[in-house]
Amino acid sequence: MLTYSEWCDKAAADKDLVEELKAMAGDEVRIEDAFYRNLVFGTGGLRGVIGAGTNRMNIYTVAKASQGLANYVNTIFQEKDRKIAISYDSRIKADLFAKVAAGVFAASGIKVFIYKELMPTPCLSFAVRELKCAAGIMVTASHNPAKYNGYKVYGADGCQITTEAATTILDEIEKVDIFEDVRNVDFEAALQAGSVEYISENVYTKFINEVLGQSLISEDDEIDKNVAIVYSPLNGTGRAPVTRALKEAGYSNITLVKEQEMPDGNFPTCSYPNPEIKEAMALGMEYAKKCNADLLIATDPDCDRVGIAVKDSEGEYVLLTGNQTGCLLLDYVCSMRVKNGTMPADAEVVKTIVTTDLGEQIAKSYGVKTVNVLTGFKFIGEEIGRLEKQGKADSYIFGFEESYGYLSGSYVRDKDAVDGAFLICEMFAYYKTRGISLLDKLDELYKKYGYCLNSLHSYEFEGSAGLEKMNGIMVAMRQNTSEIGGLEVVQVNDYANGIDGLPKSDVIKFYLEKKCSVVVRPSGTEPKMKMYVSVSAGDKVEAENIEKRIVSFMEQKFK
């Protein structure tokens, strides 16, 4: 195969790749999987398995993407505005990929600002805006297993790039020969020359202060900040900013999960470092039991998602879903703003179409408008930007998505687990001081608005065959689906056609009888099909039975 041969001849700058290419020799299946396509560059940037080949994350695919982005910036922006901010998380080779990208940008005449050490995704979004950059990149694969890495691209507004920008950047990337057309300069040399500059501590401190500024506690509010908190950064970027924010806010009784405290891209204690799943939270739960903690918090590797567990009436720890935590936070934000007289007259909450409809009911009860956007926090960020352009940035009071992403301010344009962790601790301590648990509060919401069960199911489809399979599933789902799990389909929203002014997207939402729904979409960043089930019922048992029927029916369709 010509491409494989080219790589064997020319990909000599990384000894790990050289060894891997040698090991592939004669293995046609392995070679095909590594080279059958270029790693997909979408609205989320790049994400893939680390290794040799055009379909892998390595210094060459990163450099090629960076050259395409550099060419885009040099074409679109005036010389004085040609600046790019860079951050990276704890993943394998993340620091190397960040420095390779910096070298490409610097060689292309673009000023580079890079964090001196790993920093969360929200810190990157903040730096783009604070330093008035044309773009930003975050080297991360978010919550994926250790074999993955990725490369998120941000626009000048601090949001992940739009579909239109991604298309233009992709055009530029495709013009670049991966070995012949990439400009580069040594990172250390660029640092000495001043074309690359470390982001100042002052920018980081400003970010922390913005997080602290999200507090909803007034001077008259009594709150016990000595609550016992167990925190796990899941071997990612959250340790420094989360603990700093909490300690500066007065929360001193914090225990870190030692095995998951320091950055480690191998994620030795959990193969899938995602606070959405029970396995990733297991070690933290053990710590919580040993410490008799009031609250367990965990953030994913790039610290834009946060998961929690709290004690029930029997003293057992219960994990809350992203929807549950989001609804609790929304109700807390609204109630405190009303109490303190800080609720804007035209207040707005923003959520994604796959996020629980309970959020809309809560907002409505406070007279707050709900805006529903496509899956992906960048659409929430874009809505904040729209409000800002209208001079209504203060109208935005909260945004959330079911995948454990929250943001209560407009200082960044992506989900922020530093803000999420801070606000969760404040909410927890405020209620605990008044003898109310988060589970009590959740039951109160269910009694007021009705019981709601939401679940997310992911199905992996690896390689070229998997991509074809996912496409076939979406085609089939668009054809004559009249009932799901014994419930009649009463309405179908096919977002591929564009609905409610939203961009076209390969997403289908089935509205079922009895106020239930199912959303199906292929992931834009992973080889997965995702299914979101929402069930309304009289109680938990009934809801769980209906959900099982729906899931069983859908899984047959996915085989």
The residues that are catalytic are 142
Cα-based distances in Å from 249 to 91, 209, 391, 477: 29, 10, 30, 49
Exposed e or buried b per residue across 25-51, where buried means at least 16 C-beta atoms within 10 angstroms of its C-beta: eeeeebbbbbbeebbbbebbbbbbbbb
Q: Which residues pair with 83 in a beta bridge?
A: 111
Token pair 């710590």 in the structure block, residue: 287
Burial of 98 (0-12, 13-18, 19+ CB in 10 A): buried
List, as one string, the DSSP characters of 318-333: EEPPHHHHHHHHHHHH
Which amino acid does the sequence have at 359?
Answer: G
SS3 259: helix
State the distance between the two ends of the chain, measured CA to CA, in whole angstroms. Answer: 32
Q: Angle at CA 280, nearest 5°, toward 279 and 286? A: 80
Q: Is 333 left (phi over 0), alpha (psi -120 to 50) or beta?
A: alpha
Sheet holding 516-522, edge to edge: 451-460, 528-537, 516-522, 508-512, 487-494, 483-484
Distances (CA, A) of 406 to 303, 347, 367, 523: 11, 17, 20, 20
Strand ordering across the sheet containing 83-88: 46-49, 148-155, 135-139, 83-88, 111-114, 196-198
Please report how many Cα atoms fall inside a 13 Å half-sphere around the Cα of residue 40, on the Cβ side.
Answer: 13
Residue 97: what residue type? F
HEC readout, 214-240: CCCCCCCCCCCCCCCEEEECCCCCCHH
CB of 507 within 8 A of CB of 375?
yes
CB 452 within 8 A of CB 536: yes
- DSSP state, residue 273: -
Helix (H) or strand (E) holding 553: helix 540-557
Q: Apex CA 139: angle with CA 285 and CA 213, to 5°?
A: 65
Residue 177's Cβ-count burial label (10 Å; 0-12, 13-18, 19+) is exposed
Residues in the chain, how many?
559
64 to 117, 139, 503: CA distances (angstroms): 24, 14, 28
